Amino acid sequence: MTQALPFQPSAPLAESLRREMNPALLLGALAGLLLVLIAASLLIGRRSGEAASLMTLFDTDPQTAWLILSEVRLPRTALTVLVGATLGLSGAVLQGLLRNPLAEPALLGASSSAALGAVIMFYFGISGTLAIALPLGGMAGTFLATALLFVLGGRAQDTLTLILAGVAINSLTAALTSLALNFAPNPYAALEIIFWILGSFADRSMEHVWLALPPTLIGWAFLLSAGRALDALTLGEDIAATLGFDIPAVKRRAIIGAAFAIGAAVSVTGVISFVGLVVPHLLRPLVGYRPGRLLAASMFGGAALMTAADIGVRMVDTGLELKVGVVTALIGAPFFLHLLMVLRRARA
């Protein structure tokens, strides 16, 4: 018997299709929005007035202006796009794959495991002597967690088992991170660990971008390959299997893709939550509730949301820069509660 997705609308299918935007128009609009935000991110610094001052600096001292743009603004903006697109795409794939509207990249333990790997680099002081130790530690943590997830999930890779295994991995990594904080060798190391956990794009270089880019692109390729299978899964796993899709293989590709992409993202920016939850839900009605069409839209939407959030934290004058992970959590937590209330009313 065919099961409807829990996040599908209760209105007739004709109504949902009527509200669906033309895919090319939707992607064009999101791409245009992203380009505007990228330009703003390259110009705006810690204060909104820095856009005008940078343009003036190009006339008076172009060498210094170009140095600021290429060494400070460009790496930061590139990472916001990469990380935002990764979180948006991963959230869309996981929600469609697990047929759970509350799924997001942190669900399978990838984000917390990457954070733990980075924290270990901080704890033992390796990050201070080797620049690339931090992202490498984050990616190593993600791959170890993914291997553990496969072991706990067994051969069948049942959806409920994967979710429970992800919850267990999240709990374990959170406990180990707290343990590292508890035994931090000095207060400065503890402060650095806390700032990393909060998530930020500040003080990143092109070295971080080039290190994160290859695994991110590999992860995107795995995740995007699941599009057609996700459409078939809306009819249920049994029917999708009869249509020729190897559902366990699709799950494996999605998990591996999430491990590559999320591990690379979190390892260079810290933990940034709720983007993978919010973006697919905002865009889902515009694609007619079709999981396959949601993937590319979520990439552009996630990149736009992350870039806008990072611009926002730079424009808020708080002395110390507000961490972007804090902002996304403040936005995402109320959204999460609202989503729970909507689902509760829909099932009443």
pLDDT in tens, 95-150: 888 877 777 887 778 888 888 888 888 888 787 777 677 777 887 888 888 778 77
Q: What is d(CA 341, CA 333) in angstroms, rounded to the nearest whole number?
A: 13
Q: What is d(CA 95, CA 298) in angstroms, rounded to the nearest whole number?
A: 12
Q: What is d(CA 253, CA 151) in angstroms, rounded to the nearest whole number?
A: 15
Residue with tokens 């994967």, as numbered in its chain: 162
Residue with tokens 């508890």, as numbered in its chain: 182
CA distances from 323 to 73, 263, 291, 318 (A): 16, 19, 31, 11
Number of other CB atoms surrounding residue 28 within 10 Å:
12
Return all residues near 210 (Cβ < 8 A) that are at least 6 apart.
Answer: none
Return all residues near 101 (Cβ < 8 A) that are at least 6 apart.
Answer: 5, 6, 7, 95, 281, 339, 343
Which 3 state secondary structure label does DSSP give 162? helix
Q: What is d(CA 262, CA 117) in angstroms, rounded to the nearest whole number?
A: 13
Q: What is the mean pLDDT of residues 320-339?
A: 83
Q: Is 70 exceeded by the pLDDT of residue 18?
A: no
pLDDT of residue 193: 79
pLDDT of residue 2: 40
Which of 133, 86, 100, 132 is CA-nearest to residue 263? Answer: 86
Of 135 and 15, which is predicted with more confidence?
135
How big is the chain by its Cα radius of gyration, in Å? 21
pLDDT of residue 275: 92
pLDDT-derived band at 213 (thresholds 50, 70, 90) equals very high
pLDDT of residue 14: 42
User: Residue 100 region, left (φ>0) first, then alpha (ψ -120 to 50), else beta?
Assistant: beta
Q: What is the mean pLDDT of residues 293-315?
A: 94
What DSSP designation does 27 have? H
**Sequence spans of domains, the chain:** 31-45+52-347
pLDDT of residue 9: 47
Are 173 and 181 in contact, with CB atoms under 8 Å apart? no
Looking at every residue in the chain, the average pLDDT score rounds to 82
User: Residue 132 region, left (φ>0) first, then alpha (ψ -120 to 50), else beta?
Assistant: alpha
Are 19 and 288 in contact, with CB atoms under 8 Å apart? yes
Q: What b/e sequence results for 99-117 when a residue is b if at least 16 CB atoms lie within 10 Å of its CB, and e otherwise?
A: bbbbbbbbbbbbbbbbbbb
Q: What is the mean pLDDT of residues 245-268?
A: 86
Answer positive or negative: Cα dihedral of 273, 278, 284, 287. negative
pLDDT of residue 1: 39
pTM for the full model? 0.86
Q: What is the mean pLDDT of residues 180-201?
A: 79
Crossing angle of helices 247-269 and 133-153, rounded to 10°? 150
Of 56 and 247, which is predicted with more confidence?
247
pLDDT of residue 52: 52
Q: How confident is the model over 147-176, as pLDDT tens digits?
A: 787 777 666 556 677 778 888 888 899 899
The CATH homologous superfamily for domain 31-45+52-347 is ABC transporter involved in vitamin B12 uptake, BtuC (1.10.3470.10)
pLDDT of residue 157: 57
Q: What is d(CA 290, CA 112) in angstroms, rounded to the nearest whole number?
A: 29
Q: Is 70 exceeded by the pLDDT of residue 50?
A: no
